[in-house]
Structure 1
Amino acid sequence: MSDPVAGTAGGRVTHRHGDRLLASLARRAWRPLAVVTVATAAASAATLAMPALLAAAVDRVLAGEDVLAAAARLALVLAVMTLADLVCHVAGAAANASATSALRLRLTGHILRLGMGEARRFPTGELANRLVSNTAGAGQVPLALLDTAAGLVTAAGGITALFLIDWRTGLAFVAGLPVALLIIVMFVSRMSGLYDRYQETQGRLAARLTDTLAGIRTVRASGTADREIARVLAPLPDLSRTGHALWRAQARGGWRIGLVLPLMEVAVLAVAGLGVVAGRLEPGQLLAVAGYATLGLSFIEHVDAVMSVAQARSAARRVSQVFALPTQVPGTRPVPEGPGTLSFRGVTVTRDGARLLDGLDLELPAGFLTAVVGPSGAGKTTLAMVAGRLLDPDRGQVLLDGRPLAEIAPDALRDVVAYAFERPALLGGDLASAIAYGRPGTGLAAVREAAASARVDDVIRRLPQGYGTPAASAPLSGGELQRLGLARALVRRARVTVLDDATSSLDTATEAQVTRTLVDGMRGRTRLVVAHRATTAARADLVVWLENGRVSAQGTHRELWTDPYYRALFAAEETSGKEEACPVPR
């Protein structure tokens, strides 16, 4: 299965990109990793000293000598090992937490800097899976690599000690090493590819589940729960096959490793035992050989750590695919002085081979209420998004009072451009904070004034907690929610206000009141309204008629009404006898 995003500007996102990401995590968590490194070095030194000290103590006992000093040294080494292990656990947890949180913050910031078109390259569930699960796996890699490196150093020290005690024992150990290494390399290689497949399938399943939960009302209303369950669980057979393949690979690798290691240890002990019989080795040295052989084989114990690294590399590659999406390059210049004129010059937006806007040239006069109308798919929502730089055009540019939006600093641009959407998300805590969201420090009086202008103040006041009602649990209808989103735009008193179908759920009377606010209450400010109702277009100073991403005509509603094709845009309203919203283009 291919990933939603296959590559960067230079090609596919590979494990090499993930490895660079993992290296950056190590740099961010260097302080706790440095503590772990020191503690691990102390633990490794103590571990390597233990067999030699134990052998010396045994030889002293057999010789009838005083063992108090040897016992003291053993106690000291054990204390060092215990303390180092404790420090490793504490600092290791801090390293994992630091690396994971740094990666999540970076990824969250990157996602928030994406243009709207790039952000939609991943389904929401897939993006959440990478942000939560994959970052946690990748964040553990620096510590896992450090542990693995320490294990390999300890194993190398054990093998070296075998040669120092008796070159024959070292040679017996090394003779079986190539076979063990070959088994491990084959095992890790096989498991790494399977982990890739497993995580990709998990992401597909998570994306489908998130989509279904987002549309749960439609599912229940349509009685299609069984069908949705089948759709969500469609990747499950792939997940099961990959999971079983992982288990089989682990089982095959496990019994092979479990067969080779005891044979290697038996061979080393047999050579050491013959050395004791021949008088080359002391009895205590036989004990030391047993200990160092165990340390030499300890690198096998780190196969699990190696496997977790292989799994995390897959996770890091998936995170890197999100980082590969280009973010909007922030501008640095201030907002120019001016009344709020918006200019679109040769603006072209292409998505999946389709041109949403096609070389569009348009001038929106300052202080005008401009209504954008057109059939579904004409490019109205896309025009609204590029008007405030929620989306960058592929070609052309949008200017505010003569300055390209791409050159204006993001914070400065957000201060002068406000948005209201068809389905606003209430962020910020309670309803007062949700309305003031993006404009911290706004007083309650200004919030209430904006709510009153949006005809939602009376709705909020009827709630038991009023403006202190938690936004997440506020019992609001679709129209009331839209009015809250409109209040959030009004409280900003921005130079330019963009309404993307922000009144589609309002009843006729409320919509007329809100339109009166847009016409009279915001006079002098530039307003761009994606409109589906003739009454909204009729109150506008200028109507822009879009067709296939181009301006078909523009003028006043009265002027355009003479065209039968223009009248057909509002045919639903005429035939039903009431205003009805047209489908929202997506």
Structure 2
Amino acid sequence: MPDQAPDPAARQVTRRDGDRLLVATTRGLWAPLTVTAAAVALSTAAILALPAALAGAVDGVVSGEGARAAGFLALVLAVATCADLIDTLAGAATTASATASLRLRFTAHLLRLDAAGARRFSTGELANRLVSNTASAGRVPLTLLYTVAEIVSAGGGIVLLLVTDWRSGIAFLIAVPLTLVIVRLSVGRLSGAYERYQGAHGRLAARLTDTLAGIRTVRASGTADREITRVLRPLTDLSNAGHSMWRAQAQGVWQISLLLPVIEVAVLVVAGFGVSDGRLQPGQLLAVAGYAAIGVGFIDQVDALLGIAEARAAARRIQEVLGLPPLVPGTRPLPEGPGALSFRGVTVTRKGSRLLDAIDLDIAPGTLTALVGPSGAGKTTLAMLAGRLLDPERGRVLLDGHDLAGVAPESLSGAVAYAFERPVLLGGDLASAIAYGRPALDRDSVREAARAAHVDDVVRRLPDGYDTPAADAPLSGGEFQRLGLARAMVRRARLTVLDDATSSLDTATEAQVTRTLVEGMRGTTRLVIAHRAATAARADHVVWLDGGRIRGRGTHRALWRDPAYRALFAAGPDHGGEADDDSSWSEEPCPARL
């Protein structure tokens, strides 16, 4: 199970691209962010007023006139409490909205990619970016707001400290430059470590997801120890990056932890001499202590700055996916037609390999055409082009004379149906899974398609019949394949593409299903990827692919004279392997587009 590495083009995303994504996300949160900002501003004002209110209350008690000062102190505390409550509620809404916005944008873009784009990252990598990285990036708007508020609060505290006692303020300011240098160095060290940590975490998640997907193969092969070693290989990089983060944090924390008490003690010593000299009142000493504590608050934003560094790395990883070019949907409706399919000079490359090389091919309407060839010949790639699950780098794909690139998606999905080797059944229960994408279909149409795919009797034997949840249906691989066939048949499309969709059927059932494909779907165009000689023999026309080129075409009987053609089927029905051009092609691509 080799890892699926990102395409080199996907690595060109810079930190600036990630920053733009964070800015764009923040701009879309004006409503909850405005409420949060108002609450934070009110809270900041209350915090700055609190030391003065406390000093006035103390001095009022000493002078015997503390009632009014105590009332003001109570008002400040009440305002601060209410502001914190509003801030908590609005802040949670802000973070939730930002995260949801990123996840929706990520998912929507992913579903707009063609099959090649969707497979540039493994399932584990995509899951990590969708769940973990969006959560990190979604916290940025609120973190930035709090950081700005804390800086404003700290600046106000320093100004008020200088106003209250300029000598104490000077003592405070002497230590500020050294503190800023320490903070800057800590953030710089951690930024790179965060990126290395997230990259290793994503690779680990991807390998684990791939292994869990093939757990039966691992157990049957007795390769559990080997897989554990492979999955945990990024653990060294993860550990090294984690330790780098911890060392950088520890170094910054002990330096700042040592410096803060020194600053506060220096300020209090200067203010204490002021009280003893009669320059300051006792209440003013409390005010100086309070403003000094507020002034050093910007140092407590080190964690927030580290969180921003982590979020910037996360945003860059999200942008790597968002930066992949999506399929540009066409806008023209597809007129009625018999289902003539044409490929004109079609070339497809992937990861530097040419999967199809200048293919010119015409498939007559109403015929059953079989695509045959060894693994990597380009069969699945050609089949995906037929319904625009993939766009060619060069050339055009035409359905009834119309370029698929200009056809509106809703029109195309009604004209082309797919059945896959390993179908993913979406929609809830089995009836909805068969009617997926056609919610208006009645139950009779669903049952008719199931009967055509020879799976109706299987579904009826289940306790809940067609109401059985698809995820819980106790069905074999062949039975799931027949459900996928029924989903394709119910669409009554002018072109039906079957990607080795009968490979898991027993001989008797395959013969029944093939008879339906040959006789029951007569009049519609059918494109079948065939690994079995029996399937190719029943086709009207066979296209023999090899190395991305057409090596031969004609009837199965005519091609059978060639020993190399016969060798394609010599190893039995599974000759050539389950995968065609890449292991990811054998899974159902972009199901939401079908």
Q: Structure 1: how far apart are the matches of 2:110 and 2:359?
A: 28
Residue by residue, what CA displacement relative to the aligned partner does 1:36-69 show, whole Å, maximum 9, x if unpaired?
10000000001101111111222222223x2111
Give the letter aligned to residue 527 of structure 1.
Answer: R
Q: Which runs of 5+ in 2 are unaligned?
A: 583-594
1:473 CA displacement: 1.4
Query: SS of the counterpart of 1:370?
Result: strand
Q: Structure 2: how far apart are the matches of 1:469 and 1:413?
A: 30
2:414 aligned partner: 415
Q: Structure 1: how far apart are the matches of 2:571 and 2:262?
A: 83
Contact 1:6 1:13 in 2 (8 A): no
1:576 aligned partner: none
C-alpha RMSD over aligned residues? 1.5
1:450 aligned partner: 449
Residue by residue, what CA displacement relative to the aligned partner does 1:173-204 show, whole Å, maximum 9, x if unpaired?
11100000000111111111111111111111
Q: Structure 1: how far apart are the matches of 2:575 and 2:552?
A: 21
Query: SS of the counterpart of 2:396?
Result: strand
1:494 matched to 2:493 = yes
Give the letter aligned to residue 39 of structure 1.
Answer: A
Q: Structure 2: how far apart are the matches of 1:583 and 1:166?
A: 82
1:108 aligned partner: 107
**Structure 2 length normalisation: TM-score?**
0.95
Contact 1:378 1:547 in 2 (8 A): yes
Residue by residue, what CA displacement relative to the aligned partner does 1:525-558 show, whole Å, maximum 9, x if unpaired?
1111111222222221211111211112222222
Query: What does 1:182-193 correspond to in 2, within 5 Å?
Result: 182-193=181-192
Q: Structure 2: how far apart are the matches of 1:3 and 1:234?
A: 15
2:59 aligned partner: 59
Q: Structure 2: how far apart are the matches of 1:571 and 1:300?
A: 73
Q: Structure 1: how far apart are the matches of 2:334 and 2:40?
A: 55
Q: Structure 2: how far apart are the matches of 1:126 and 1:77?
A: 49
Contact 1:5 1:321 in 2 (8 A): no
Give the letter aligned to residue 358 of structure 2.
Answer: G
1:244 CA displacement: 2.1
1:583 matched to 2:582 = no
Query: Residues 292, 6 of structure 1: CA spacing in aligned structure 2 closer, same or farther, 3 A cutoff?
Result: farther
Give the letter aligned to residue 4 of structure 1.
Answer: P
Residue by residue, what CA displacement relative to the aligned partner does 1:476-514 show, whole Å, maximum 9, x if unpaired?
111111111101000000111000111111112211111
Query: SS of the counterpart of 1:572?
Result: coil
1:434 aligned partner: 433
1:389 CA displacement: 0.6
Query: SS of the counterpart of 1:554?
Result: strand
Q: Structure 1: how far apart are the matches of 2:81 and 2:275?
A: 33
1:581 CA displacement: 5.5
Q: Structure 2: how far apart are the matches of 1:218 and 1:567?
A: 30
Q: Structure 2: how far apart are the matches of 1:436 and 1:4?
A: 34
Q: Structure 1: how far apart are the matches of 2:394 and 2:25?
A: 36
1:85 CA displacement: 0.4
Query: What does 1:547-558 correspond to in 2, within 5 Å?
Result: 547-558=546-557
Which deviates further from its counterpart, 185-194 or 263-272? 263-272
Q: Structure 2: how far apart are the matches of 1:286 and 1:536?
A: 93
Q: Structure 1: how far apart are the matches of 2:563 and 2:458?
A: 40
1:245 CA displacement: 2.1
Query: What does 1:525-564 correspond to in 2, within 5 Å?
Result: 525-564=524-563
Give the letter aligned to residue 235 of structure 1.
Answer: P
Give the letter aligned to residue 230 of structure 1.
Answer: T
1:4 matched to 2:6 = yes
Contact 2:568 2:575 in 1 (8 A): no
Contact 2:143 2:304 in 1 (8 A): yes
Query: SS of the counterpart of 1:529?
Result: strand
Q: Structure 2: how far apart are the matches of 1:393 and 1:284?
A: 78
2:82 aligned partner: 83
Give the letter aligned to residue 184 of structure 1.
Answer: V
Residue by residue, what CA displacement relative to the aligned partner does 1:545-578 show, whole Å, maximum 9, x if unpaired?
11211112222222222333222222234xxxxx
Q: Structure 2: how far apart are the matches of 1:12 and 1:509?
A: 52
Give the letter aligned to residue 6 of structure 2.
Answer: P
Query: What does 1:392-407 correspond to in 2, within 5 Å?
Result: 392-407=391-406
Give the letter aligned to residue 540 of structure 2.
Answer: D
1:280 CA displacement: 2.8
1:148 aligned partner: 147
Q: Structure 2: how far apart are the matches of 1:292 and 1:25?
A: 35
Query: What does 1:184-583 correspond to in 2, within 5 Å?
Result: 184-573=183-572, 582-583=576-577
Give the letter aligned to residue 374 of structure 2.
Answer: P
Query: SS of the counterpart of 2:571?
Result: helix
Q: Structure 2: how far apart are the matches of 1:571 and 1:206?
A: 40
Query: Residues 223, 449 of structure 1: CA spacing in aligned structure 2 closer, same or farther, 3 A cutoff?
Result: same
1:14 aligned partner: 14
Query: Residues 7, 181 of structure 1: CA spacing in aligned structure 2 closer, same or farther, 3 A cutoff?
Result: farther
1:35 matched to 2:35 = yes
Residue by residue, what CA displacement relative to the aligned partner does 1:126-161 show, whole Å, maximum 9, x if unpaired?
111001111111111101111111111100000011
Query: Residues 485, 581 of structure 1: CA spacing in aligned structure 2 closer, same or farther, 3 A cutoff?
Result: farther
Q: Structure 2: how far apart are the matches of 1:479 and 1:181?
A: 66
Query: What does 1:119-198 correspond to in 2, within 5 Å?
Result: 119-198=118-197
Which deviates further from its counterpart, 531-540 or 382-391? 531-540
Q: Structure 2: how far apart are the matches of 1:397 and 1:3?
A: 28
Q: Structure 1: how far apart are the matches of 2:9 and 2:261?
A: 46
Q: Structure 1: how far apart are the matches of 2:569 and 2:287?
A: 92
Query: Residues 6, 67 of structure 1: CA spacing in aligned structure 2 closer, same or farther, 3 A cutoff?
Result: farther
Contact 1:7 1:324 in 2 (8 A): no
Which deviates further from its counterpart, 214-223 or 239-248? 239-248
Query: Residues 3, 570 of structure 1: CA spacing in aligned structure 2 closer, same or farther, 3 A cutoff?
Result: closer
**Number of residues paired by the alignment?**
577
Which deviates further from its counterpart, 523-532 or 549-558? 549-558
Q: Structure 2: how far apart are the matches of 1:580 and 1:275?
A: 92
Residue by residue, what CA displacement relative to the aligned partner does 1:297-350 show, whole Å, maximum 9, x if unpaired?
011222211211111111111111111111111111111332111110000001
Q: Which runs of 5+ in 1 are unaligned?
A: 574-578
Contact 2:359 2:550 in 1 (8 A): yes
Query: Residues 6, 300 of structure 1: CA spacing in aligned structure 2 closer, same or farther, 3 A cutoff?
Result: farther
Query: SS of the counterpart of 2:527?
Result: strand
1:95 aligned partner: 94
Percent identity, aligned pairs only, is 67
Query: Residues 6, 154 of structure 1: CA spacing in aligned structure 2 closer, same or farther, 3 A cutoff?
Result: farther
Query: SS of the counterpart of 1:571?
Result: coil
Residue by residue, what CA displacement relative to the aligned partner does 1:11-35 show, whole Å, maximum 9, x if unpaired?
8212211111111221222211111
Q: Structure 2: how far apart are the matches of 1:547 and 1:73?
A: 86
Query: SS of the counterpart of 2:388?
Result: coil
Q: Structure 2: how far apart are the matches of 1:544 and 1:572?
A: 20
Contact 1:532 1:581 in 2 (8 A): yes
1:241 CA displacement: 2.2
**Structure 1 length normalisation: TM-score?**
0.96
Contact 1:455 1:510 in 2 (8 A): yes
1:5 CA displacement: 4.8
